[in-house]
Amino acid sequence: MQERPNAVTLRGTPFTLLGPELKVGDPAPDFRLMNTSLQPVTLKDFAGKIKILSSVPSLDTDVCSRETQKFNQLAAQMGDDVVVLTVSMDLPFAQNRWCGAHGVDRVITLSDYLDHSFGLNYGVRIKELGLLARVVFIVDRQDVLRYVQRVPEITQEPDYEDVLRALKGIQKA
């Protein structure tokens, strides 16, 4: 398993990411995640859609909560050809509770707790913590990575405007 030391920080402390450093143009790796109904979900379940994959450490933290709520608001403007998936290590029960408590109904929350295939295949699993790093990927309709935003300091939110600019470019292509 590839290790990338000092790839992200948490309050200034460096951490190692496990898995490859994916780049724009790479084929999107498959994954097996669990939805809030405890059903397995793979990349193929979103075939033909543009997929925004928002990897976060835990919905029960302020930054992850704000990020997921922001993507939920933005999803209303993105069109029917786009699906927003937030992936964390939170258990599906906790994700379901969190979505209900925060009115999140446009973002699909998925859990990587079972086999860690998303974290390892997308290179976002934090070795020392067992959590996922904060990264936003956009995968096109042909399952090719078209955008990657790694947030170097986990306590910071992503640049939403940059994500939206990239999405508009992908939708026009």
Give the chain's domains with CATH numbers.
Answer: 3-172 (3.40.30.10)
Contacts of 42 (CB under 8 A, 6+ apart): 30, 31, 32, 33
How far apart are the C-alpha atoms of 110 and 89, rounded to whole Å?
Answer: 8
Q: Against a cut of 0.75, is the pTM above it?
A: yes
Q: Is the dihedral of CA 94, 95, 99, 105 positive or negative?
A: negative
For residues 148 and 5, the answer to whether their CB atoms sit within 8 Å is no
**The pair of three-digit structure tokens given for residue 161, joined into one six-digit string:** 């405007």
Half-sphere exposure of 72 (CA within 13 A, CB side): 18
Q: What is the mean pLDDT of the chain?
A: 97
**The pair of three-digit structure tokens given for residue 49, joined into one six-digit string:** 């859609």
Q: Is 11 exposed, middle or buried (0-12, 13-18, 19+ CB in 10 A)?
A: exposed
The reply to whether 99 belongs to the active site is no
The confidence band for 118, taking pLDDT boundaries of 50, 70 and 90, is: very high
pLDDT for 173 equals 83
In the block, residue with structure tokens 């590839």: 2
Determine which one of 64, 104, 120, 135 is catalytic. Answer: 64
Question: pLDDT tens digit string along 76-111?
Answer: 999 999 999 999 999 999 999 999 999 999 999 999
- C-alpha separations of 166 from 20, 65, 69, 136 in Å: 22, 23, 20, 11
